[in-house]
Amino acid sequence: MSAIRLIRVLFYGAATQRGATKTQVRRVWSGCSSRSSLCGQEGAQRGLSLTAAASQFELSLTKPPVSGVVSSKLWNDMLEVKFGDGTEGRLPFVWLRDNCQCSQCFSVEGLGRKFLIDDLDVEVQPTKVEESMQGLTVKWSDGHQSEYSTNWLQNRAFTPSSRALHREKYALRKEQWGAEHRIKDFDYNTLMSNERVLLDWLLTMERKGSAMVRNVPQKDVAGQELIEHIAFVKQCHYGPHSPVINRPNSNNVAFTNAKLGLHNDLPAYEHMPGIIFIQCLAQHPGAGGESIVTDGLFAAEELRRKRPEDFKILSSTDMYFWDKGHANYSWEMPEFYKIAKFPVIKVNGNNEVVQIAVSNTTRDSHMDLPPQEVKKYYAAYKRFYIILSANAMTFKMEQGDMMTLDNVRCLHGRESYDADSQRHIETSYLDWDEARCRRRRLQEKFGCFI
């Protein structure tokens, strides 16, 4: 870092501190809730200003590297570099120029690129390359000069290891499970006070998609408060938390005593909530009210293996989902009318399953299909549901339990129960964007990135 840039960063940080009494800096890094009293020292770290965090980031880039860049050579449209520890990488010219880290091209305070794609020459070439213990200095055919630290280059060197590491930072590999699966237990108060345990829960949820939280306080916002300890509640038209009870004048079949088939919550949203928190405040004492849970990812892969044509139909044909109604409580939207459209099995560009959307209650009667294709679709859908059911587990939650599920992967349902029962379940939601954000921050803190 040049002396001028260092002075600018320090001056900017001091100015921010002077203004802190007038404007509260938003805690953007991990969403530490203002309602939580358990943030402690980590709360102070998570509440760093953008400037302080940016300063730490830039300083981390300028720490003396263990080994520098010892050699480089041009290779087609790439720069082939060898690092002092013996590893190598091939760095495309256009990528290097696009990601110049100088103050003209990159904002340290905003942690983002300032260099515009409008000004990028995709045919840009290096005219001079210098290696050092600090990294690389490149002079370009467009007249610009760039400097890159060794650590920065190694982390992005397009090697299988660097790509795999960042892939895991983005999202952990999911582990499928069937009816024999045993859900891992966590203690509510420990989750709220011990960040290593919280990280374990986040890792478990991302890999397995399911966990059970025990000893949950007997209040309807316990799930909401745990979510706020992690990040932010995902709001929906039912508000920040939703009483799943046998309601008069109900606005959803879930708020009756009827049996609920296996389903994902809120598929009528184009962006379905990522994690559902299902808290048991009171359970029906007799037969009925049992929970049913299954892994949609496992079922989708079974369908792909056994019935590839069915998998193709369900992963390539859009289904409408809708939800229309009125408020039962003051915190709900007075009236709502949601419509979404996507396949029951959603895959990404690598043909990996990334979302399951099943809901008998909100699956629309409108179908955007030629009539001759409808029966074939139903047959594929029914066979998928049979696999889901065959690999489900059934159990009864008790007062003080809270089940957490990956809502875009795992499906849940319940057995019917007596209409006059006082059975009371509360649901709240957390988006995966926020959960993964907290997971990465904790992995950085404890130095345990895979």
Give, in order, the Cα–Cα distances in Å from 68 to each of 9, 63, 231.
Answer: 26, 12, 38
Band of pLDDT at residue 10, cut at 50, 70 and 90: very low
pTM (2 d.p.): 0.83
Mean of pLDDT values over 99-106: 96
Do 140 and 19 have their domain in common? no
Given a cut of 50, is residue 407 above it in pLDDT? yes
Do 23 and 137 have their domain in common? no
Given a cut of 70, is residue 313 above it in pLDDT? yes
Do 139 and 211 have their domain in common? no
Which has the minimum average pLDDT: 39-48, 110-119, 254-263?
A: 39-48
What is the dihedral sign for C-alpha 343, 347, 351, 352? negative
Do 199 and 84 have their domain in common? no
Percent of the chain past pLDDT 70, that is, above it, reads: 85
DSSP codes, 386-420: HHHHHT-EEE---TT-EEEEETTTEEEEE----TT
Q: d(Cα 266, Cα 254) in Å, to the nearest integer?
A: 11
Given a cut of 60, is residue 93 above it in pLDDT? yes
Do 106 and 246 have their domain in common? no
Given a cut of 90, is residue 40 above it in pLDDT? no
Strands 393-395 and 185-187: unpaired
Which has the minimum average pLDDT: 44-58, 106-120, 326-340?
A: 44-58
Cβ atoms of residues 310 and 384 within 8 Å: yes
Structure tokens at 72: 């480089």
Do 189 and 121 have their domain in common? no
Q: d(Cα 176, Cα 298) in Å, to the nearest integer?
A: 5
Do 42 and 144 have their domain in common? no
Determine, yes or no, domain membership for 179. no
Do 385 and 241 have their domain in common? yes
pLDDT tens per residue, range 256-290: 999 999 999 999 999 999 999 999 999 999 999 99
Do 276 and 314 have their domain in common? yes
Q: What is the mean pLDDT of the chain?
A: 87
Do 147 and 42 have their domain in common? no
Q: Which of 14, 45, 61 is the last residue of a domain?
A: 61
Determine, yes or no, domain membership for 175. no
Q: d(Cα 431, Cα 249) in Å, to the nearest integer?
A: 29
Q: d(Cα 400, Cα 282) in Å, to the nearest integer?
A: 8
Do 316 and 334 have their domain in common? yes
Q: How many helices (H) and strands (E) in the chain?
A: 13, 22
Do 222 and 269 have their domain in common? yes
Q: Which of 124, 145, 169 is the last residue of a domain?
A: 169
Q: Between residues 27 and 376, which one has the greater pLDDT?
A: 376
Determine, yes or no, domain membership for 33. yes
Tell me the chain's radius of gyration from C-alpha atoms: 26
pLDDT at residue 153, rounded to an integer:
96
Provide the number of structural domains found in the chain.
Answer: 3
Burial category of 61 from C-beta neighbours within 10 Å (exposed 0-12, middle 13-18, buried 19 and up): middle
pLDDT tens per residue, range 203-240: 999 999 999 999 999 999 999 999 999 999 999 999 99
Q: Domain residues for 153?
A: 69-169
pLDDT at residue 450, rounded to an integer:
57
DSSP codes, 351-376: S-EEEE---TTTB-S---S-GGGHHH
